Amino acid sequence: MTEKKETQKILCVLYEDPSTGYPPKYIRDEIPTLEKYPDNQTLPNPQSIDFKPGDLLGSVSGELGLRKFLEEQGHKLIVTSDKDGPDSVFEKELEDADVVISQPFWPAYLTEERLAKAKKLKMAITAGIGSDHVDLDAAMRRDLTVCEVTFCNSISVAEHTVMMILSVVRDYMTQYQHVLSGDWNIADCVQRSYDLEGMKVGIIGSGRIGLAVLKRLKPFDVDLHYTDRHRLSEEQEHDLGLHYHDTLESLLETCDVLSIHCPLHSETEYLFDTKLLQKMKKGSYLINTARGKICDPYAIKEALESGQLAAYAGDVWFPQPASANHPWRSMPHHAMTPHTSGTSLSAQARYAAGVREILENYFTGQAIRDEYLIVKDGCLAGCGAHSYSEGNSTAGIESVLQ
């Protein structure tokens, strides 16, 4: 294939800089260097990078470390955090953009209507994992390439998940708030606190993140269960002591703690509604670091208020950013974070390098790694064919974009 010599417009949507300004220095001087991912997949391997690993790359001023690379080749880079509404920078710049880069943490929703306006768009890149903010059906009809940086932050999310499980089972948030308020009532602190040891913990989706969570939970002496349409090997099940469930309902009826790690697509959209939550053990814990739209927000709140759920910990919302009056901000017994699990400074170095690798291949006409592909040549491809179903998960964002 021939190298793409013409000037390309790269539209990059990133989250805002810190409220105190872009950091002049960092608490640590370096981050660990990883040689490979746990399944031996190689890390992103661009020809070079123009950033220091450990710097804040995912915000507007960080620019994913791309400006020097793109401008030296004569390409135009537009970076913005203004992504919603008809007068947003993203909406205005999209019309003649060749490539859109977005993040799961601050997604630029590529709806069918927006894609129809983007006459020159050839590729949508997710700087992270999860491309459900793109209408994949519309992307296939438009013959767009959709890709993401597979595995770049899987372990980051797995670590966050384990933190959340321990936080809600031990009721850490209540105890922390007592410290802040100056109180010292031990009984108030521990009346909802239990040991994780001995509990039955279930994982919904045993892909890279789900499997990493299972591995990290094994030393806690819990009873591990999982369900997935792609069953793990007998060796993996034996090594981790896993119990496989061929139905989600069987898993729900068995487990004290459930953690969601399946992608968002047509089969999982609003999967956890009132009816499904009633099938869970009373007083169980639900963790969601996958996608907010897998859960009905009002059903979750009602389950917490009734005691059907003991606690809900989530890192994902719909839409993102969540409104100030989102029901999950005010519901009881929650441990919510604003989709930060996969954008630690360590993870940013990997997803920035992965975006650079994808762009290098795109500009030189080389094939993009199969594991990075979600949609190509009008159909689900690579990782997308394994993990997604055809459909559109952006529905419902229209009110935010108007």
Rounded distance between C-alpha atoms, residue 348 and residue 351, angstroms = 5
**Do residues 214 and 236 touch, judged by C-beta distance below 8 A?**
no
Chain mean pLDDT for the chain: 96
Instruction: Show me where the domains of the chain are located.
Output: 9-152+343-381, 154-330
The amino acid at 148? E
- Look at residue 331 in the predicted model and tell me its pLDDT: 98
pLDDT > 60? residue 3: no
Residue 400 binned pLDDT confidence (cut-offs 50, 70, 90) = low
Dist CA 302 CA 78 (whole Å): 43
Amino acid (1-letter code) at residue 254:
T
Q: What percent of the chain has pLDDT over 70?
A: 98
Q: What local confidence, expressed as pLDDT, does residue 6 receive?
A: 87
pTM above 0.85, yes or no: yes
Task: Name the pLDDT band for 401 (thresholds 50, 70, 90).
Answer: low
Q: Which CATH superfamily is domain 154-330 in?
A: NAD(P)-binding Rossmann-like Domain (3.40.50.720)
Q: Region 104-127: what's the mean pLDDT?
A: 97
pLDDT score of 121 more than 60: yes
Pairing, β 284-288 against β 123-126: unpaired
Cite the active site residues: 153, 291, 320, 339
pLDDT of residue 2: 45
Asked if 79 contacts 63 with a C-beta cutoff of 8 angstroms, the reply is yes
Domains 9-152+343-381 and 154-330 share a fold: yes
Q: Please tell me the total number of residues recorded for the chain in this structure.
A: 402
Give the pLDDT of residue 180.
98
Separation of alpha carbons 61 and 15, rounded Å? 9
pLDDT exceeds 50 at position 1? no
pLDDT interval class at 5 (50, 70, 90): low
Element (H, E) at 362: helix 345-364
Whether 162 shows a pLDDT value over 80: the answer reads: yes
Residue 387's pLDDT band, with cuts at 50, 70 and 90, is confident
pLDDT tens digits along 333-380: 999 999 999 999 999 999 999 999 999 999 999 999 999 999 999 999
Distances 125 to 46, 134, 344 between C-alpha atoms, Å: 15, 10, 19
Helix H segments across 128-247? 136-141, 154-169, 172-181, 186-190, 208-217, 234-240
pLDDT for 276-334, tens place per residue? 999 999 999 999 999 999 999 999 999 999 999 999 999 999 999 999 999 999 999 99
Q: How far apart are alpha carbons 376 and 145 in whole angstroms?
A: 5
What pLDDT, on a 0 to 100 scale, did the predictor assign at position 4?
53
Tokens of 85: 């509404």
CATH class entry, domain 9-152+343-381: alpha beta
Q: Which residues pair with 380 in a beta bridge?
A: 375
Residue 388: the pLDDT is 87
